[in-house]
Structure 1
Amino acid sequence: MIIVVGIGADGMAGLSQASRDELARAGVVYGSPRQLELLDDSVTPDRREWPSPMLPALPTLFGAAGGADVHVVASGDPLLHGVGATLIRLFGAQRVRVLPHVSSVTLACARMGWTVPDTEVISLVTAAPHTAVRRGGRAIVLSRDGQTPATLARLLNESGRGDSELTVLEQLGGPGERRRDGIARDWAKAGPAEVGDLNVVAVAYRPDERRAHALPDEEFAHDGQLTKQPLRAVTLAALGPRPGELLWDVGSGSGSIAIEWSRSAPGCAAVAFERDEQRRERILANVTAFGVRVDVRGGAPEALADAPEPAVIFVGGGLTQPGLLQACFDRLPAGGRLVVNAVTLESEAVVAQWYSKEGGEVRRYQHYQGGAVGGFTGWRPALPVTQWSVVKG
């Protein structure tokens, strides 16, 4: 059995009796140097720091223990972005017992007077800092190190969120607990000095301009090459995002489909393929502004080769390029979904050929925008779009 004991910045004094009893009977204890230093003389001297890199070593590390119990100390609640979840995933819930401490998220919400269910939790321990950018709401951000608050403040300021309110909470629950409040715009110039690595950031995002789906076109930086709002809505419906799925957005343009996809369900991410360098830069700017997980790469089909396997592929550009659609279809796993939008007669011909061969569904969309005609209002048609969607057999 692997017993994972959560411990806070207050060390042994903050542990429940059950946790203290477990550590008292431990033969060996694994943990980070900081966590091991919190233990007192009642705990075995056989304390082992995690190897680096840790993850590849875990199967061998605990497999060698045989039937003996092994103890682990972890920060706060080990199941909240902690090693407890990793161990359960590797060894199964039957082999892992978790004794949680109060999490840093719960402590931070208590200090802020925020309800936990209404507060997003974002971990930057391994994720890119821009993934903590939001357009409203509030979040507890788990920092990677002492530089995270200043980095986040700069990104918020650059993405038009300079009025966001930030609170850095260090050593939560311990004798050295410290709180500092600020505004992203101010901290973007000079962040709080000497922030310890053990910190979380409570963020109230300002201005609050949250919107769930089918964002207005003006929300994206673009040069006209983007899937317009009405068609984006029906395209996302055809793509059908499910939690944790990866999308390939081929011929991404401004990245609007990849971004909307990544915002649509928990764990969704995308790879955006775009041949034009300036457009790739715009996609990156949009990705940062929306705080989503989108990997931006070069043009297809060349850049498809080493990309991670997708669950869904959307082709919005470059359809007439020789071999592109075949390369996409070849990389799509069985049961994967493919959606193609075609505007030109030539791209429609490609769609027709594939539809006759693979089946699926074809639809044509046409929408009109009201506009001035002298002193009156008339309808101006957008280009019709043919959409093909198919599930690979």
Structure 2
Amino acid sequence: MPAVSSVATAFARAGMPWDDAQVVVAHRRTLRRAVNVCRAHTKVAVLTSPGAGPAELGLLLEGVHRTFVICEELGTEREQVTVLTSDKAADHTWRDPNVVIVIGGPVTAVEGGGWIAGREPGAEPRGWALPAEAYGGALGEGETDLLRAAQLARLGPRAGDLVWDIGSGSGAFAAEAARCGAAVIAVDRDQDACGRTTVSARRFGVQLQVVHGAAPHILENLPEPDVVRVGGGGAAVVSAVADRRPQGIVTHAATRDAAELIGRGLTEHGYLVECALLQSVELDTRAWTEKERSVAFLLSGRLPDRSP
């Protein structure tokens, strides 16, 4: 007879179903990616290892409130289950092996049981780069659906990534990056924009960390990103982001001169730069007449692949 898995045992001890949980393995070299999954999802089981345990998880989750259910030495006489908040995990010494169940936000099991582990994909709207109506009204200049689609395609956010969305506006890009499974930190200097971003996250049932402040100064204490969208701030903010060496950066410019300034800055930081002029015309299909026209320069920078 096969033995019961440590993950199933941990959830049994916690009195929770596990069919809606993400499961990750944390080693020293993968700890940051495991933490990003904990940022992005409401229920995660982390199989830990020495140097990548509850204390390290708690330290890297600074600024994000989570509850830990820490199950030590399951199935032995020394088995112990401890519940505490993530900011208290570093105050203790934990025995190996252990499983950490990380809980954040509202967690509800899928009615009737899920058909796939993790978040139910059918609970989300189908499609990407959704129209303005999906986000409660008018979007900003850099948030049009076609520009957003191109930015998402260039960055390719995925599970285990941390995405910065600087100048989040309505939260449209941030919410869609989170729907891809990535952890997202949305930054905006406007308090109302931060509120709209929070509402967008709730509307789509995704987890975001929203930070109120002006770039580039607010970026100094944020954890290292994998990919970044710069929605506002121009060349100065793009340069500050490039200093942090994310794998990919996307932004937009209204004029060719502005695009050239940003592109040259990215090149000087060692990025491979692409620039495209995006033009779109929305038609009123009742009369097939032009309704709205938008033009923007899309810029993207990617660090060269240094793998052998």
Q: 2:144 aligns with which of 220, 228, 232?
A: 228
In structure 2, do the counterparts of structure 1 residues 128 and 384 end up closer, same or farther at CA, with 3 Å as the change threshold? same
1:371 maps to a residue whose letter is D
Task: State yes or no: 1:128 paired with 2:105.
Answer: yes
Per-residue deviation, 1:250: 1.1
1:211 aligns with 2:126: yes
Partner in structure 2 of residue 6 of structure 1: 9
Residue correspondence of structure 1 range 149-228 to structure 2 within 5 A: 210-225=125-140, 227-228=143-144
How much does 1:318 deviate? 1.9
State how 1:81-120 maps to structure 2 within 5 Å: 83-84=98-99, 86=100
Matched, 1:340 2:251: yes
Higher relative contact order (CA 8 A, sep 6+): 2
In 2: Cα distance, 1:376 partner to 1:247 partner: 41
The correspondence for 1:318, drawn from 223, 230, 233, is 233
Is residue 303 from structure 1 mapped to residue 218 from structure 2 by the alignment? yes
Matched AA of 1:388: L
Residues 147, 298 of structure 2: 8 Å contact kept: no
> Cα distance, 1:353 vs. partner?
2.7
Contact 1:222-1:282 at 8 Å conserved across structures:
no
After superposition, the C-alpha distances for 1:191-237 in whole angstroms (9 at most, x for unaligned) are xxxxxxxxxxxx9999x663242222211035431512222112111
CA contact (8 A) 1:366 1:381 kept: no
Q: Aligned in 2, Cα 1:308/1:222: closer, same or farther, shift over 3 Å? A: farther
Instruction: Please state whether the residue corresponding to 1:384 is helix, strand or coil.
Output: strand
Distance, in Å, in 1 between the alignment partners of 2:169 and 2:82 is 47
Is 1:371 aligned to residue 287 of structure 2?
A: no
Q: Distance in 1 between matches of 2:120 and 2:186?
A: 30
For the pair 1:392 / 2:306, whether they are aligned, the reply is no
Unmatched tracts of structure 1, length 5 or more: 12-21, 35-51, 63-71, 73-82, 87-122, 133-138, 142-165, 168-202
Instruction: Show the counterpart of 2:175.
Output: 259
Aligned to 1:279: 193
Counterparts of residues 45-60 of structure 1 (less than 5 Å): 53-54=88-89, 57-58=92-93
TM norm structure 2:
0.61
> Could you tell me which of 109, 130, 150 is aligned with 1:140?
109
- The alignment status of 1:244 with 2:247, answered yes or no, reads no
The 1:332/1:33 distance shift into structure 2, 3 A limit, reads: closer
Backbone CA RMSD of aligned residues:
3.7
Distance in 1 (CA, whole Å) between partners of 2:135 and 2:260 is: 30
**Residue in structure 2 matched with residue 78 of structure 1 by the alignment:** none
Change (3 A) 1:209 1:237: closer
Deviations 1:33-54 (A, max 9, x none): 79xxxxxxxxxxxxxxxxx945
- The one-letter amino acid paired with 2:166 is V
Q: Distance in 1 between matches of 2:160 and 2:120?
A: 26
Shift of the 302–250 alpha-carbon distance from structure 1 to 2, 3 Å rule, reads same
Name stretches of at least 5 consecutive residues in structure 2 with no aligned partner. Answer: 16-73, 113-118
AA paired with 2:194?
R
> For residue 331 of structure 1, what is the amino acid of its counterpart?
R
- TM-score, normalization by structure 1: 0.49
1:29 is aligned to 2:71: no
Do 1:259 and 1:287's aligned partners in 2 also have CA atoms closer than 8 Å?
yes
Structure 2 counterpart of 1:220, one-letter code:
Y
Contact 2:263 / 2:273 at 8 angstroms: preserved in 1? no
Q: Out of 169, 183, 205, which is 1:291 matched to? A: 205
Counterpart of 1:193? Answer: none
Contact 2:238 2:262 in 1 (8 A): no
Instruction: Determine if contact 2:155/2:249 at 8 Å carries over to the other structure.
Output: yes
Q: What secondary structure, in the 3-state scheme, does the structure 1 residue paired with 2:215 have?
A: coil
SS at match of 2:153: helix
Bigger Rg over Cα: 1
* SS of alignment partner, residue 224 of structure 1: coil
Q: How far is 1:56 from its partner? A: 6.0
Report the number of matched residues. Answer: 226
Letter aligned with residue 387 of structure 1: L
Cα shift readout 1:73-125 (whole Å, capped 9, x = no counterpart): xxxxxxxxxx43x4xxxxxxxxxxxxxxxxxxxxxxxxxxxxxxxxxxxx8x5
